[in-house]
Structure 1
Amino acid sequence: MRLSRGVPLLAALLTGLTALGPAAPAGAHTPGHCARQDRLHVPGAEHQETACLPDLTTAGLAGTPYTDLADQAGLSAKGTVNPSGVPGVQIDGYFPDGSRLNATHGWAHDAQFVIRLPDHWNGGLVVTGAPGTRRQYSTDALISDQVLARGFAYAATDKGNTGPDFFTDGREPGDAVAEWNRRVTELTRAAKKAVRQRYGAGPRRTYMTGISNAGYLTRWQLENRPELYDGGVDWEGVLWTTRGPNLLTSLPVTVARHFGSATDEDLIGAGFAPGSRFLWPYHEKAYWGLTQKIFRAEFDPSYDPACPGTTAGSTVEELLAPCASDASYAYPARPASVRRAVAKVALTGRIGKPLITLHGDLDTLLPIATDSDVYARMIDARGRGALHRFYTVQDGTHTDGLYDTYPDRLRPILPCYRSAFDALTRWVEADVTPPADGLVARPASGDVVNSCALGRGRDADGSRAPGRS
């Protein structure tokens, strides 16, 4: 089933909602094809399977058990050019976990991960988590292909729970999302040791990155575990703050609109961009109601115990159906216990390593006005502005797959993300000042799917560029 051309319905549903540094330098470590494969034992893993492969990219893995194209659907635009031909070792496995939501490989076991170790290594490691409620292969085409071609090792996690029923994991409200952060930390530490086993040395640079929920993970890691990383790129990360804004303050108005108790002007007043109106019907069908009910069930299950209950639905119709009760949901009026649940995962803006944020001005799931604009101000308020760059991508929306439906009204963010990662690696490794904060305007011509220039460098005095919210 499809809601629009090029964006499969279930993939859109489960998306909550990535690469790329310079090419491998001369003298990069080249241990030979799959050298030391027998030495690879991921610390802490309950189960692992290691494979020597001729190509670790999606072009080489398509149709094999080593990737999942269906879980990537809708995240990138048609015409996106990805590299291929990267030989090396892939490790699939899982860490100890009691939940069983991820059925990949027939394991029925959560906390699954993938680690890819290219034969030609540039000394770096890139770590990410799954966006939305997807699984560990979901950003292979967005992130893995490009970073592997540049010589980085790569590691991704399913975050410890997957699918629209992720909220059933954990003993207390907020536990399922809190596990996401623990799983990223766990994988990062383990992947660094696996890198050492393969190449005889640990990574010289480690970068955290991700889109949507994994953008949130990037923010959290750089705030809470900065010693593990050298920097990160946050692609429209979800913002969780204890008092708001968060998804539970921005999405109820969309459910109210669905049930006729809110107007389009109410959405605009809540932060949704007026120019995104053409995307609202799609998001009303595919995103808004589902996202509100599953996160409300995660942090505030007592509000309406019957919806979603123990499952978000077993059919497409049930999954998409919003809870009528959420139309009147008022986060500020809920008991203090709800804010305590959100506090488990809340962001502060106190980043400890360089971070680049990108966000589309037509994002219709996470409006920029109630998300990255706010997070940028939080970082500044913490006195960490010198560590942050923030780029607003004109005509960008939450998932690039929608570009194929509206090529005259949208632009993909992926090429801007790739430029941002390149800017991050230059910033960290060569002390090259990134472009100034501001709007990344849509070009009037050229290959908008595969190219993006971020703009000029920061002003000589280091001040913020005009236009930062």
Structure 2
Amino acid sequence: MLAHHAATASPRRRPGRRAVLGALSLTAVCSLVSAAVPAAGAEGAPGGHCAGRTRVHVPGAAHQHADCLDELTTAGTVASGHTDPADFAGLTPKDLPTPSGVPGIQIDGYFPDSSTTNTNHGWNHDAQFVVRLPDHWNGGLVVSGTPGNREQYANDRAISDWVLARGYAFAATDKGNTGLAFHRDGHRPGDAIAEWNTRLTQLTRAARAAVTARYHQPPARTIATGMSNGGYLVRWQLENHPELYDGGVDWEGTLWRSDGPNLLTFLPPALRAYPAYAAGGPGAEDALKAMHRAGYPAGSEFLWPYHHQVYWDLTQRIYREEVDPGFDGATEAGTAFCASGTPGCDADYDYATRPAAVHRAVDRIALTGRIGKPLITVQGTLDVLLPISQDSDVYARMVHEAGRGALLRYYRIEDGTHTDSLVDTFPDRLRPMVPCHRSAFTALERWLTGNGRPPADHTVRRPAGADRATLLTDCRLD
């Protein structure tokens, strides 16, 4: 999910703030600072419940607080105040089961940063993180960045609950800036997104140290995973810091390429063509063809009204502002739902003709396909926020062209879309992606432990006649 929450008026970013990243050393010792996070439980005996809570620190953190919890999943953290349901609202089907029975330590805190968009805990401080350390540990660590512009608890239902129930330690970051005005962070175009990558690297190093302090041994495997913008982070990390990870699962990651395709090449055609298609009349057929040429697949038309209203316009404007703030002059992030032909309208944005500086800004955050550790990518064929032909199909080719194809498995999920909550609205047309992500994760586990290579790249067909309950829990990649 690339954009989240309603737009609000606010001052322009440039020049913005530059993030200050704390030095990370595995031997660093940081003060344990009390914070406005509810406390629960007590210190356990050595080796028991929450053992070593007072000695477990997140290196480099400016502020942190550890709690001993009887339940680390959302079955308990919603009530105890150790998560924020607003962070993960709309990301999963409403009937997704919630595991329970995972006691352990939760550490909330933040790294040094100068931006203040994240209001969780009343901290008004970015670079917030959460680290969860279950009592019954399987030896692994899962790290994640959030989808869209959400805060650090956004993956709690889709990812954290499930991996914690499997015994993994879990850590997540807010990526260093949040909300619809994320583009104000940084000095120059592209800085805000570039910080996302730095923050996940920072958290991974710190979380590995925290895990080592808690369990007296480093993690046997570290896996990066995330959806949408979080999937982009997985790709970038495995390209740029493969030494930190054993592998990753990329759930519909955003593709950034300086020569396209990227968000700014396929969203403007949709903003131009969709109104004519929706209006009907003599221009509707040509508009439909234009939508299909831009990458929005035939058969996905039932999803277009929602995405036009909620995602396409907003996503184009705020991400274009991040890399090309000069397009609309003094206006911040464009004019909502402007008609094609209006001066400075994002519906008429033409990335290919924009100045070289814009392409250099995108190049700073661009992907190359040169992954250095095993990666499994999953994306739905009915994704109309990041059309699959313009995203994961392209990234898979990039990986193969870079000579890294042996490290990739790519599964196109028939009838999957970008946001799983839409399955509740269209249960007969869509299948949830969350069980496919979990199947990909377990396939990666087997791959990393030498217990079987995942099946070759292919389209995972929707099982004929499968009911809603089956699709919510089952997605067989083979």
Structure-2 separation of matches of 1:96 and 1:86: 30
Q: How does 1:88-237 map to 2 (within 5 A)?
A: 88-237=104-253
RMSD: 2.0
**Residue aligning to 2:360:** 340
Structure-1 separation of matches of 2:190 and 2:414: 34
**Residue aligning to 1:45:** 61
Shift of 1:64: 3.0
The equivalent position to 2:316 in structure 1, one of 292, 295, 298, is 292
Residues 145-174 of structure 1: CA deviation (Å, up to 9, x unaligned): 111111100000000000010000000000
Letter aligned with residue 91 of structure 1:
I
Could you tell which deviates more after superposition, 133-142 or 257-266?
A: 257-266
Structure-1 separation of matches of 2:336 and 2:403: 42
Q: Contact between 1:76 and 1:400, CA under 8 Å: does it hold in 2?
A: yes
Structure-1 separation of matches of 2:404 and 2:136: 36
Structure-2 separation of matches of 1:366 and 1:257: 17
Q: Unaligned stretches of 5+ in structure 2?
A: 9-45, 277-282
Q: How does 1:325-404 map to 2 (within 5 A)?
A: 325-404=345-424
**Residue aligning to 2:288:** 264
**Residue aligning to 1:274:** 298
**Residue aligning to 2:39:** none
Letter aligned with residue 308 of structure 2:
E
Q: Contact between 1:12 and 1:286, CA under 8 Å: does it hold in 2?
A: no
- Across the two proteins, how many residue pairs are aligned to each other? 426
- Secondary structure of the 1:302 match is helix
Structure-1 separation of matches of 2:190 and 2:310: 24
Residues 411-449 of structure 1: CA deviation (Å, up to 9, x unaligned): 001001101100001000124110221111111224111
- Secondary structure of the 1:167 match is helix
Q: Contact between 1:360 and 1:393, CA under 8 Å: does it hold in 2?
A: yes
- Secondary structure of the 2:409 match is strand
Between the two structures, name the one with larger relative contact order (CA 8 Å, sep ≥ 6): 1
- Secondary structure of the 2:232 match is helix
Tell me if 1:33 matches 2:57: no
Q: Contact between 2:251 and 2:378, CA under 8 Å: does it hold in 1?
A: yes
Tell me if 1:452 matches 2:471: no
Distance 1:332 1:345, change over 3 A: same
Tell me if 1:246 matches 2:301: no
Structure-1 separation of matches of 2:421 and 2:89: 8
Q: Unaligned stretches of 5+ in structure 1?
A: 1-6, 15-29, 313-317, 456-469
Residues 314-347 of structure 1: CA deviation (Å, up to 9, x unaligned): xxxx877799511111001000000100011100
**Residue aligning to 1:463:** none
Structure-2 separation of matches of 1:108 and 1:141: 24
Tell me if 1:436 matches 2:460: no
Structure-1 separation of matches of 2:451 and 2:351: 43
Shift of 1:10: 5.8
Shift of 1:358: 0.3
Q: Contact between 2:4 and 2:180, CA under 8 Å: does it hold in 1?
A: no
Q: How does 1:409-428 map to 2 (within 5 A)?
A: 409-428=429-448
Structure-2 separation of matches of 1:13 and 1:67: 24
Letter aligned with residue 354 of structure 1:
P
Q: Contact between 1:290 and 1:322, CA under 8 Å: does it hold in 2?
A: no
The equivalent position to 2:98 in structure 1, one of 60, 69, 82, is 82
- Secondary structure of the 2:439 match is helix
Structure-2 separation of matches of 1:218 and 1:354: 11
Could you tell which deviates more after superposition, 73-82 or 84-93?
A: 73-82
Residues 157-197 of structure 1: CA deviation (Å, up to 9, x unaligned): 00000001000000000000000000000000000000011
Structure-2 separation of matches of 1:122 and 1:211: 23
Tell me if 1:305 matches 2:323: no
- Secondary structure of the 2:91 match is coil
Structure-2 separation of matches of 1:75 and 1:13: 19
Q: TM-score when scaled to structure 2? A: 0.86
- Secondary structure of the 1:62 match is helix
Shift of 1:254: 1.6
Structure-2 separation of matches of 1:306 and 1:275: 39
- Secondary structure of the 1:257 match is helix
Letter aligned with residue 393 of structure 1:
I
Shift of 1:259: 5.5
Distance 1:193 1:322, change over 3 A: farther
Structure-1 separation of matches of 2:202 and 2:86: 26
Structure-2 separation of matches of 1:95 and 1:381: 37
Q: TM-score when scaled to structure 1? A: 0.88
Runs of 4+ in 1 over 2 A off after TM superposition: 9-14, 257-262, 305-309, 318-324
- Percent identical pairs in the alignment equals 59
Shift of 1:205: 0.2
Shift of 1:13: 8.4
Distance 1:422 1:12, change over 3 A: farther
Letter aligned with residue 419 of structure 1:
S
Letter aligned with residue 453 of structure 2:
T
Structure-1 separation of matches of 2:370 and 2:320: 26
Q: Contact between 1:256 and 1:326, CA under 8 Å: does it hold in 2?
A: no
Residues 384-437 of structure 1: CA deviation (Å, up to 9, x unaligned): 111000000000000100000000000001001101100001000124110221
Shift of 1:265: 1.4
Structure-2 separation of matches of 1:307 and 1:292: 14
Residues 2-38 of structure 1: CA deviation (Å, up to 9, x unaligned): xxxxx9x965989xxxxxxxxxxxxxxx921000001
- Secondary structure of the 1:407 match is coil
Distance 1:10 1:183, change over 3 A: closer
